[in-house]
Amino acid sequence: MSFAPRGRFAPTPSGALHVGSARTALASALSVWSAGGRWILRVEDLDAVRVAPGATAAMLADLRWLGLDWDEGPDVGGPVGPYAQRDRAARYQSALDSLRAHGQVYPCACSRRDIELAAQAPHGVEPIYLNTCRDHDPAVVIAHARSLGRGVSWRFRTDPARPPVVIFDRVSAAFTQCVSDEVGDFVVMRADSVASYQLAVVVDDLAMGITEVVRGYDLLASTPRQVLLYAAIGASAPTWAHVPLVLGDDGARLAKRSGSMGIAALRERGVSAEWLRGWLLESLGARDRGSLRASAVDFDIMSVDPAPVVWRAPP
């Protein structure tokens, strides 16, 4: 593989692509193209419950309508495919096996309810895992789960002596998190043998040679976990840029209102691709030079405003 930068957009096809995700897609493409690199599209369709039927095809069509064309992806192929996570399960399993062989993960028999009860977290707040199964004999934990008719999840063993992880972000302010205190040992493989987002994203970004991650601000709090996984695997992490969310004019996150702010819905209301592209480029501080590849020439991800942007409906 060459040393040219590689970036990616990695959407979960859980519904209609909305303005906020389209903006993130554009930011990641412009950033890596501005450095002469390649932009990869990876479909994060691991979680069958979240994947909406037909959403992948609709999402790709929306991105193309906006004028985005990826250098590698599920429909165009490339050297490091497959580009859809559901076709990559064996890779996650072998990463888990290797973490197991190095004692970096352990089995956990706790259900979600067990964890909520142990943590006494208020409803709706992600509970901190109190490392309940960490020091138990793995064989006993596995047998216990089996007796309850369940599988075990596998958790990454965080090191309480490790200094907090500091993320130097190219857009957002530096972010510090002590994963062992603030998150606890986290799941890398779920009890239904589906890899967690944290493991899958690291395995794939590494295998695909990703050198820069540009994604939504809502994922910043996941990044320290991923940094710990890179360190455990002995690989260096990519650079990070978490771009701010797009808010509706009522201040609510667009993700929650993706029906009305969906790209397809806007298109049906007569909004043109040119207008939307212009709005998105302007919101990222980029000059519209006709095509997106041309607009990338003088784009600088570090100049993106870290404050959330408010969606302005077309005139």
Site for ligand GLU in 93-152 (CB under 6 A): none
Site membership for ligand GLU, residue 210 (CB under 6 A): no
Is residue 62 near ligand GLU by the rule CB under 6 A? no
Count, residues near ligand GLU per rule CB under 6 A: 7
DSSP 235: -
If binding is defined by CB under 6 A, does position 23 make contact with ligand GLU? Answer: no
Amino acid letter, 173: A
Task: Report helix, strand or coil for 199.
Answer: helix
Task: Candidates 10, 29, 63, 191: give the one binding ligand GLU (CB under 6 A).
Answer: 10
Alpha-carbon distance 183 to 170, whole Å? Answer: 24
Q: Does 295 bind ligand GLU (CB under 6 A)?
A: no
Look up residue 77 and give its two tokens. 């192929």
* Cα 230 to Cα 237: distance, rounded to the nearest angstrom: 6
State the minimum distance, in angstroms, from the CB of residue 216 to ligand GLU.
6
| Count of C-beta atoms within a 10 Å radius of residue 185 | 22
Residues 106, 283: Cα–Cα separation, whole Å: 45
| Three-state secondary structure call for residue 47 | coil
- Does residue 12 belong to the site contacting ligand GLU (CB under 6 A)? yes
Q: Which residues, numbered 219-238, are part of the site for ligand GLU (CB under 6 A)?
A: 219
- Residue 44 sits in the site that holds ligand GLU (CB under 6 A): yes
Task: Name which position in 23, 91, 215, 225 contacts ligand GLU (CB under 6 A).
Answer: 215
Which CB sits closer to ligand GLU, 128 or 245? 245
Q: Which one of 115, 201, 210, 243 is in contact with ligand GLU (CB under 6 A)?
A: 201
Cα 303 from Cα 136, distance rounded (Å): 49
- State CA 15 to chain mean position distance: 15
Q: Which residues contact 238 (CB under 8 A, 6 or more apart)?
A: 205, 210, 211, 212, 213
Specify the stretch interacting with ligand GLU by CB under 6 A; choose among 5-13, 50-58, 137-145, 178-186.
Answer: 5-13
**112, 146, 162, 256: the active-site residue:** 256
Stretch that binds ligand GLU, among 8-16, 152-160, 165-173, 185-193 (CB under 6 A): 8-16
91 binds ligand GLU (CB under 6 A): no
Contact between 291 and 46 (Cβ < 8 Å): no
In the complex, what is the shortest distance from the CB of residue 8 to ligand GLU, in angstroms, rounded to a whole number? 7
**DSSP assignment string, 23-47:** HHHHHHHHHHHHTT-EEEE-B----
256 catalytic residue (yes or no): yes
In this complex, which beta carbon is closest to ligand GLU, that of residue 96 or of residue 210?
A: 210
Which residues touch 27 (CB under 8 Å, ≥6 apart)? 214, 241, 243, 284, 301, 304
Residue number, 201 or 266, with CB nearest to ligand GLU? 201
Residues near ligand GLU, by CB under 6 A: 10-12, 44, 201, 215, 219
The catalytic residues are 256
